[in-house]
Structure 1
Amino acid sequence: MNSRLAESSSPYLRAHADNPVAWFAWGPEAFAEAARRGVPVMVSIGYATCHWCHVMARESFQDAATAAVINEGFVAVKVDREEHPDVDAAYLDAASAFTPHLGWPLTVFTTPEGRVFYAGTYWPGEPRPPLPAFREVLSAVREAWTERRDEVERTGAALRQALAEAASAASDAAGLPTLDDLADAARRLVGREDRSYGGFAAGPGLENPKFPTVPALRFLQASALPVPEAPAVARRALEAMAASDLHDPVDGGFFRYATRRDWTIPHYERMLTDNAGLIEVALDAGAPEIAADVARFLIDVLQQPTGGFAAAQDSESIIDGRRDEGGYYARDAHGRVGLAPPALDGKIVTAWNGLAVGALARAGVALGDSGERLLEAARWAAEAVLETNIGDEGMLRRASLDEIVSRAPATLEDYGSLARGLALLAAATGEVRYARAARDLVDACLHDDVVVVPGGGDPVLVAQGMAVGGSDADGASPSPAAAFAGGALALWHLGAGERYRDAAASLVARVAPTALEQPLGHGAMLDVAVALAAPPRQLVVVGAPGSALGEAARSIRADVVAFVTPDQAEAFAADGFSLFEAKSAQGGLPTAYDCRGFVCRLPVTDPAQLST
């Protein structure tokens, strides 16, 4: 048993602890050992619910002969991409120089100084033309390192220089896009809709795998976007997914993606990221029943005894003594009785729990009496992350497992997504402490109004001169920069101050040229851009959510829908959240304040006076 992995906070690393490969966890020790031995480093990146990661593990990493080749000629490092997203992003960028087919498992070969000189994804245990066997790849890399080391090191140095130049060429101040600019980008995205089956193909051909593409759908649903046909595209995609094999009718929620254009033959893992985002898509599509269905999956399946939400549920389970991909999900409720469900990746990822907290807070407000359970689940998860995902030195960390805090530092995605989730929870519950915690998270990353993650990012990447900060493109969840911009924006909406709007605007401006050209991959940042280009609508109800006025307010689409008691309104105002200043219950009755860009209309106590 490999103690370096067995004691990890990652289920993915723990699952590899009994491999015959002498794995190191990510850290400087592996590269120091490679320098001592004079051998290259093999970095293997995956995640716990990745099907092809399981396959490569069974075929190669559990094979004694393959492990012997690795141990003799390399220092092997196992990385959980969900625990170390910056590491994953940096090596994906480097790997793109060697293969157009990026994905996981990702295998990267570097010099002891961390310079990438070769990379690929899945290689089989035996030759499978056009793929060579993994042992053949290892032999070729070892031969190149032994006999042509100067050439190998030149390749690594040239690649590092090219990546650095590409990063420095990015625009830093292109200006904020206008609503007209954003409308043009939205129309291009609308034009890519699959009119037969809904959603968008992953590439130019309609037969590519189909993903939920939540950030892009959220952009099309932006309330101030002047493209009337855009919200319907998001609604059609949601309805198509809900009626397809991508949806689990028993436990609720959605699978990761479909391999066919008509949403059939899913890849069966279920991710917290996709499902948290789809709750918000459903709410804004006017589909509360779908939002409630997905929320049920989060609470009943993913929520852990400590309160946090697990990262994902595996695609594979054990049926009749063998591993089976999707067999559990193919059965109805009766057929699942007696079967052990697929395993959970139980690590509590800070950013993804922030997404879940925000989604459940919004759903808790929108769904009325049935939303109380959702709000309690959101509170529980928020408390779990705030209590557990903090290192001994007081710094936020990327993840935890069984209350063991990961060594991986938090990223901008973690600070931003958790801040947004807490801000939404504060509005839904009236508890200012969540808004205060959100502000602390964002403030930790603002230095002279420049956005910098505390500690500067992953220390190994920094020491090696690798790019830190992650991709500007969205994945299943918003990019790190977009997530942070969203957190800062949520604080501005609560009246925390203009510096938070400025922080969001600086990130939007940096990415805007690329985002406008490639809206499918930058929906989260474009969503923030729309919110910056139009005055926000903020609705504050001083009174109980269950009152007639509260019920009317629940149905209104606004950037902020907050419910507070008179004392809670005073507490928000005293803590510097100006939206809540002078908000009181008129005549002791529940009172609504409908504000547009912080300018509030006269308070109303009659539900009929609230405009939609």
Structure 2
Amino acid sequence: MGNRLADAMSPYLRAHASNPVDWYPWGEAAFAAARERDVPVLVSIGYATCHWCHVMARESFSDDVVARMLNERFVAIKVDREEHPEVDSSYLAAASAFTRELGWPLTVFATPEGRTFYAGTYFPPQAMRGIPSFSQVLAAVDEAWRERREQLDETAVAVADALAEASGAETEGELPSTDQLQDAVEFLAADEDRVHGGFGTAPKFPVAPVLGFLVDAGPRARELAARTLKLMGASPLRDAVEGGFFRYATRADWSDPHYERMLTDNAQLLGVAARIAQRDPEAQWAASLARGLVAFLTERMQLPGGAFASAQDSESTIDGVRSEGGYYQRDAAGRAGLDPPALDEKVLTGWNGLAIESLARTAFAFDDAVALDAARRAADFLLEHHLPVEGRLVRASLGGVASAATATLEDTGMLVNGLLELSVATGEVVFAVKARELLDDAIAAADRAPNPGSVPFAAPGGADPVLAARGLTMPADPAEGVTPSGVTACADAAWKLYLLGAGDHYREAAEAAMRAVAGIALSRPIAFGGALGLMARLAVPIVQLVTVVPDPSDEAGEPEAAVIAATRRHEASVSTIVTESQARAFADAGFELFEGRTAHGGAPAAYRCRAFVCAMPVDDPDALESLAATP
């Protein structure tokens, strides 16, 4: 039996390389083997920091008897859901036909054509509480394959047809008014846990995109976001020693968490905390939480090369025994002699984009050099290693070695957002130019599509080729759980480009993308936080603030510090602080917001604009605040 996983890019696949199971990585070879042998396919999907994935690996995939059954009667494929999100989404949707308890490890049985005929999640080594053992499941599937093949094929076709029909469901509508958005806020408020924070009952997730929407949806909504984040930050969901948030909690009071710490959650919650603190100087708890998250990201999650790891494991080894959460349940002194849980050092483009975006935004709001340096280092890594010479975006890498997995729409959108935030935080146009190029590629890809739809963005690299060859690709999922969808991320980036003066067609693209999901987003706000957040920004008047300071060779007087501080805390659709030469560079690159912007007699000048109609520049914070108060 060959070991096909030993050299895999994914740490998750490498962790299974020593199993007695004859694993295949995701690819054509596995399906070709299944066709040749005329056996069903097991698609096992998980990720490196998933606790129950570890458990099933120890209990079943390391068992010689189970492995023998798998090797003799199936072709087994191991998939890292973070490396191949399209594969995960497709099979997760198919699995929903067989179980309501969706999650990971995801266990899918499919025909050699890749079509699902049965699925579940974790299966124990012995039957318990009505759940069959994994061996029983394998035996039953094998028997059905041999004796009731026609019935399984019919099921697989029916599932595929149902998914195709569901993917065409109507989601479009008109962009919502502020009143309609407030109805979504009221829906969330009615579901609030006023004792512990968050929404609904256990299990409870941080739902960072929803909190981001609430921050942008008016004062009352912002109070709801602040209550939730403050309670979560003081709960067992957050590590009191190292500052990071865990993935979710199994109880309503945020206790008994699943201990993996994800880059996605912590990056986005940093952005929420920073925005609350920026808009409410009295919210010192939010500023403290933001500082703690910057420290967690930079000290625990940032790799030596500058990029961020995907996650930190839930498990570690204590006294020679694997322990879930044992490290995190100790105080600082108790951790001192322990090796921390391992990082999944896989670098994901989109997730790093989320971190760059929040760190850059935090750096601008608080003049935080540590956050800014961390964002720049991550961006530099991605631009060097995830954008090869031919310009095709890389989805993932490990140790500088790129994955063959196809980059998704979220990779483009999230990276572009990160680069744009970094550009306005540093005043360096090069990041905005690269962001615009990347988004233009996604717009061009949508234009090239055989059947262009209402969404003006598409992944430039196309769909996963193995899924596409089997007709298993699905439209970009507009729903949002722990992160914004690729559609929302690209639309948000297009809106930012418009605000910077890159052209009206970016605004039109953002609005078209949001109309494509508006019909469903208002009825399911908990699943469309990112989209609703952008819709809230689209629904309010545009305010743009550009403060221009003299170039470094010129003397800067005392007023500069005051007006710069006022710029950092001023509420606006977009704010930036640039030197005169940087303003010229932005203007020369086609960002019209910066046209003619200069310092004021050797002192900084703040240009406050309403939808590109700008007031006369001011050079002191009181005058800037007066402009904000003027109808």
| TM-score when normalising by structure 2 | 0.93
Is residue 423 of structure 2 the alignment partner of residue 415 of structure 1?
no
Aligned amino acid, residue 383 of structure 2: L
Q: Is the 8 A contact 1:44 1:108 kept in 2?
A: yes
Q: Of the candidates 484, 498, 504, which is equivalent to residue 492 of structure 1?
A: 498
Aligned residue number for residue 344 of structure 1: 343
| 1:306-385 alignment, distance < 5 Å | 306-368=305-367, 371-385=368-382
Query: Match for residue 133 of structure 1?
Result: 133
Matched, 1:547 2:561: yes
Report the CA distance shift for 1:564/1:219 in structure 2 as closer, same or farther (over 3 A): same
Q: Which residue of 1 aligns with 2:426?
A: 429
Q: Secondary structure at the match of 2:199?
A: coil
Q: 1:405-436, CA deviations, whole angstroms, 9 ceiling, x for partnerless residues?
A: 01111111110000001000000001111001
Paired position in structure 2 for 1:441? 438
For residue 308 of structure 1, report the CA deviation from its aligned partner. Answer: 0.3
**Which consecutive unaligned segments of at least 5 residues does structure 1 have?**
none
Partner of 1:561, secondary structure, is strand
Which residue in the other structure is 1:209 paired with? Answer: 203
Aligned amino acid, residue 564 of structure 1: V
| Cα RMSD after superposing both structures | 1.5
Matched with 1:259 is 250
| Cα displacement (A) at 1:7 | 1.4
Q: Is the 8 A contact 2:45 2:88 kept in 1?
A: yes
Matching residue of 2:221: 230
CA distance, structure 1, for counterparts of residue 391 and residue 588 of structure 2: 26
CA contact (8 A) 2:167 2:475 kept: no
1:281 maps to a residue whose letter is V
2:412 counterpart of 1:406? no
State the partner residue of 1:396: 393
* Aligned-partner SS, 1:142: helix
Establish whether residue 275 from structure 1 lines up as the match of residue 266 from structure 2.
yes
Deviation (angstroms), 1:2: 5.6
More divergent stretch after superposition (190-199 vs 299-308): 190-199
What is the one-letter code of the residue matched to 1:183?
Q
Separation in 2 of the partners of 1:578 and 1:568?
A: 13
Give the corresponding residue for 2:607: 593
CA gap of 1:571–1:63, structure 2 versus 1, over 3 A, is same
Which residue of structure 2 aligns with residue 119 of structure 1?
119
CA distance in structure 2 between the aligned counterparts of 1:247 and 1:165, rounded to whole angstroms: 41
Aligned match of 1:102: 102
Q: What residue number does 2:53 align with? A: 53
Amino acid at match of 2:133: A
CA distance in 2, matches of 1:446, 1:157: 33
Does the CA contact (< 8 Å) of 1:164 and 1:467 recur in 2? no
SS in structure 1 of the partner of residue 533 of structure 2: helix
2:391 partner letter: G
2:442 and 2:457 in contact (8 A); partners too: yes
Between 1:485-494 and 1:150-159, the stretch displaced more is 485-494
* Partner residue in 1 for 2:146: 146
Alignment of 1:284-295 (within 5 A): 284-286=275-277, 287-295=286-294
| Counterparts of 1:338 and 1:314, CA distance in 2 | 18
* Residues 462 and 392 of structure 1, relative CA distance in 2, 3 Å threshold: farther
Query: Contact (CA 8 Å) 1:86, 1:469: kept in 2 or not?
Result: no
Q: Does 1:511 align with 2:517?
A: yes
Shift of 1:134: 0.3
Q: Which moved more, 1:121-130 or 1:414-423?
A: 121-130
Out of 215, 218, 243, the position equivalent to 2:212 is: 218
Give the stretch that moved more between structures: 33-42 or 551-560.
551-560
Partners of 1:536 and 1:13 lie apart in 2 by 47
Query: SS in structure 2 opposite 1:43?
Result: strand
Q: CA deviation at 1:492?
A: 1.6
> SS at the partner of 1:603?
coil
TM-score (norm 1): 0.96
- How big is each residue's C-alpha offset from its partner over 1:447-498, in whole Å with a ceiling of 9 and x where there is no partner? 3483221132111111111133442211211122112212222222211112
Q: Sort the Cα spacing of 1:193 and 1:2 in 2 relative to 1 into closer, same or farther, 3 A.
A: farther
Alignment-mate amino acid for residue 86 of structure 1: E
Deviation at 1:297, TM superposition (A): 0.4
Change (3 A) 1:140 1:540: same
Distance 2:267 2:70 in 1: 39
Kindly indicate whether the alpha-carbon contact (under 8 Å) linking 1:3 and 1:17 is maintained by their aligned counterparts in 2.
yes
> Which letter does structure 2 place at the counterpart of 1:275?
N
Q: Which amino acid letter does the alignment assign opposite residue 386 of structure 1?
A: L
Counterpart mapping for 1:14-53 below 5 A: 14-53=14-53
Distance 1:410 1:599 in 2: 39
2:462 matched to which residue of 1? 456
Q: Which amino acid aligns with 1:318?
A: T
Q: Deviations 1:186-218 (Å, cap 9, x if unpaired)?
A: 2111211111111112xxxx2x21111100111
1:106 Cα deviation (Å)?
Answer: 0.2
8 Å contact 1:390–1:405 — kept in the other structure? no
Sequence identity of aligned pairs in percent?
54
In structure 2, distance between residues paired with 1:399 and 1:595: 40
Are the aligned partners of 1:85 and 1:470 in contact in 2 as well (CA < 8 Å)?
A: no
Deviation string 1:136-183 (CA, Å, 9 cap, x unpaired) is 101111111111111111111111111111112334x42222222212
What are the within-5 Å matches in structure 2 for residues 517-596 of structure 1? Answer: 517-543=523-549, 547-596=561-610
Amino acid at match of 1:492: Y
Pairwise CA distance, 1:284? 2.0
Structure 2 counterpart of 1:429, one-letter code: T
Query: Equivalents in 1 of 2:330, 2:476: separation in Å?
Result: 39
Offset at residue 559 of structure 1 (A):
2.2
Paired amino acid for 1:159: V
Q: Is the 8 A contact 1:418 1:487 kept in 2?
A: no
CA deviation map 1:325-379 (0-9, x unaligned): 11111111111111000000001110110000010001111122xx011101100
Q: Which residue identity does 1:458 align to in structure 2?
A: D
For residues 578-603 of structure 1, the C-alpha deviation after alignment (integer angstroms, 9 at most, x for no partner) is 11111110111111111222222211
Q: How many residues align?
A: 601
| Counterpart-to-counterpart distance in 1, 2:493 and 2:247 | 25
Q: Which moved more, 1:487-496 or 1:521-530?
A: 487-496
Question: What one-letter code is carried by the residue in structure 1 that aligns with 2:241?
Answer: V
Structure 1 CA distance, aligned partners of 2:239 and 2:575? 31
Q: Provide the rounded CA distance (Å) in 2 between the counterparts of 1:347 and 1:605.
A: 47
Q: Is the 8 A contact 1:412 1:469 kept in 2?
A: no
2: distance between equivalents of 1:177 and 1:87?
33
Partners of 1:469 and 1:429 lie apart in 2 by 36
